Amino acid sequence: MNMVVDAGNTLTKIGIFEKDSLVQKEVFDTEVDLQNFLSRTPSENLLISSVMSGMNEIASWSVATGHKIILRPDLPLPIQNRYATPATLGVDRLAAACGARLTFPDQDCLVVDIGTCINFEFVNKEGEYLGGAISPGVRMRFEALHHYTAKLPLAPVAEGPPLTGNSTISCLQSGVINGMREEINGILQRYHIQYPGIRVILCGGDAHFFENHLKPAIFVAPDLVLMGLNSILLHNVAL
């Protein structure tokens, strides 16, 4: 069994794999619970990805008996990284790109990862990661509207707001959610024009707000980043 750790801005996800198969998934929102799980759960090899610091400390909590690998931009990958500034590239974006390549090998793929931010990651059919785009996520947009204005309230997230809001709250919800849907659909359309037949993969904690409103067809893969991390781990263990 191998273990991968995806430490995000708000939650930490752990995937336990038997070769390519995800057999267990855990989610933690406190450091104490994460430490307890790692210190009590045996594994062979471990890979840690974090958008923040503290990866060495997380590694020290693990009782893995084999390799303990920290994902950095210069780590060997199962894809070719063509990003112009690899040292600035978020490791979560690399993992999503590797997950896309694993899911649809030899095809052009675009990942739409909707969480704290919306990350678009493009991997071409030759297995080259070329980059993508970053845009504010759902809650970041609501918070910005509240923070940078004098009177607008902090509106809650709504699953299906009307096109025409009839209150300040519903107007904010319409602007954020419907605006994001149009933004994402517009970007997808441009990719489909440039890369006919491209496969679009949707993931991230807020993906459910959009999965039934995007076109053309998308592939929903909630564990894409964990799968990508496992492919990076297997790639490095085999070297």
Which helix H or strand E contains 5, and what residues bound it?
strand 2-7
Write the DSSP assignment of 151-198 as a string of letters.
Answer: S---PPP-SS--SS-SSHHHHHHIIIIIHHHHHHHHHHHHHHHHSTT-
> Choosing from 6, 92, 108, 113, which is the catalytic residue?
92
Rounded-to-integer distance, Cα 161 and Cα 233, Å: 41
Query: Residue 92 catalytic?
Result: yes
Rounded-to-integer distance, Cα 95 and Cα 214, Å: 23
According to DSSP, the residues that pair with 2 across neighbouring strands are 17, 45
3-state secondary structure of 75: coil
How far lies 181's CA from each of 72, 170, 177, 197, in Å? Answer: 32, 16, 6, 21
User: What are the residue numbers of the active site?
Assistant: 92
